[in-house]
Amino acid sequence: MSFLRNLAPALLVVLWSSGFVGATFAAPVAPATTTLLWRYVAAALLMVVVVLALGRRYGARYLRREAVLGALGQAGYLYGVFRAVEEGLPAGTAALLASLQPALVAVVLSASGRGSGGGRRQAVGLAIGFAGVALAVGPDVAAGSGAAGALWAVLGMLSLSAATVLGDVWPAPDDGRGHDVLDSLAVQGVVALGVFAVLALASGQATPPADPTFWLAIAWLVGLAFLGGYGMYLYVQRTRGPVAVSTWLYLTPAVSAAWAWAMFGEELPLLTVAGFVVSLAGVLLTRPGRRSRPARRAAGEAAPARSERYASPQRAR
* For the chain, domain boundaries: 2-309
Which bin fits 172, alpha (ψ -120 to 50), beta or left (φ > 0)? beta
pLDDT by residue for the chain (317 residues), tens only, comes to: 677 778 888 899 899 889 888 888 899 999 999 999 999 999 999 999 999 999 998 999 999 999 999 999 999 999 999 999 898 888 777 877 887 776 677 777 777 666 555 567 767 776 787 777 777 666 666 555 567 888 999 999 999 889 988 888 888 777 666 788 889 889 999 999 999 999 999 999 999 999 999 999 999 999 999 989 888 988 888 888 776 776 677 777 778 878 888 888 877 778 778 877 887 787 677 665 544 343 343 334 333 333 333 333 343 34
CB-neighbour burial class of residue 143 (10 A; exposed 0-12, middle 13-18, buried 19+): exposed
SS3 38: helix
SS3 287: coil
Query: Are the beta carbons of 316 and 163 closer than 8 angstroms?
Result: yes
Query: Are the beta carbons of 224 and 39 closer than 8 angstroms?
Result: no
Residue 174 DSSP label: -
pTM: 0.75
**Amino acid found at 222:** V
How many other C-beta atoms are found inside a 10 Å radius of the C-beta of residue 246? 28
